[in-house]
Amino acid sequence: MVKDREETLFGNSSRAKTTYRIVEDIKKAFEDKHDFVALDGEYGPVLEKQLEKYFKENDGYEDGKVKSYRWELIDNETLFNANILLFRNHTTGQLDVVTLTPFEVGTSINIKGRTNLLGAYIKDLNNENFTMENNYGNIEAIRTMTLLNEIVPSLGDVELGTMKIVSLSKMHQKSGREIIMEQLLPQFETIIKVVKSNNNDLDLENNFKKHTIKAVDPVKVLVQSWREAIQDHQRETKEIQLTFKDLMVGKTEVDGTVVEGIEGT
């Protein structure tokens, strides 16, 4: 059961909520048409911060009565068991994933004295252009990708957006890491290639590649993060706008990209 697994991961403290209970809170917030309320205990503010986007983005009230959300939580027991929350945007088909972990994301592990995540198979200086460091944040990212690799193809026309690895460890600071999927996909492809070449019996296929599942343009992802930053730091809006404008000018000069909703003046 999800609840039993989560009690083991996060402890038996009454202050901690399990992933199962978090999922129930999210579902209830969507059903009752209200914003996601801060959870009880020390994890509350952390989770509310990471999940508020999926409730803030809505189309107001239909017929003046019912709030229409742009995001939904994918109801999948396998993901919930793995402490993974997968959100889909109804309009764009973008998939965002939030993975909860009891580990400190920046903590490194030793693999044959090497610093890369595939240290059991390849050296740090390798011909695969593989650069992922062997820390718990990256381990959780690949664990998440392995499960999504099996589930996402069944979700239809979608694009991969962002992945957030959120540490809820009671022994460390509440930290996390945001990963742009476009950068993660080629690393995942390399992992499959290297691991399969060293394990002949391994039956694993890159379904992202097989089903041509792509990632959202990193610039669009940056736009989303930029908007979130503005909401969180209203006093810094002018500085953020200037920085973002410089980036967009450079991007446009390179490939002519125009991001909808952002003026180039």
> Residue 254 above 60 pLDDT?
no
Backbone conformation region of residue 254, classed left if phi is above 0, alpha if psi is from -120 to 50, else beta: alpha
Position 22 scores a pLDDT of: 83
Position 99 scores a pLDDT of: 94
Residues 174-197: pLDDT tens digits? 678 888 899 899 999 999 999 999
Position 31 scores a pLDDT of: 80
Position 243 scores a pLDDT of: 45
Q: What is the mean pLDDT of the chain?
A: 76
Label residue 257 by pLDDT band (50, 70, 90): very low
> Residue 28 above 60 pLDDT?
yes
> Residue 216 above 60 pLDDT?
yes
> Residue 150 above 80 pLDDT?
yes
> Residue 8 above 70 pLDDT?
no
pTM (two decimals): 0.75
Which pairing describes strands 176-180 and 159-167: parallel, antiparallel, or unpaired? antiparallel
Q: How many CB atoms lie within 10 A of CB 42?
A: 13
Position 25 scores a pLDDT of: 83
> Which of the residue ranges 49-63, 156-170, 184-198, 236-250 has the most confident prediction, judged by mean pLDDT?
184-198
CA 106 to chain centre: 16
Q: Which residue has the higher pLDDT, 7 or 147?
A: 147
DSSP string, 195-208: HHHH-TT-----HH
3-state helix, strand and coil shares in percent for the chain, rounded to the nearest 5: 45, 20, 35
Position 115 scores a pLDDT of: 92
Position 45 scores a pLDDT of: 74
Residues 218-233: pLDDT tens digits? 777 766 665 665 555 4
> Residue 241 above 60 pLDDT?
no
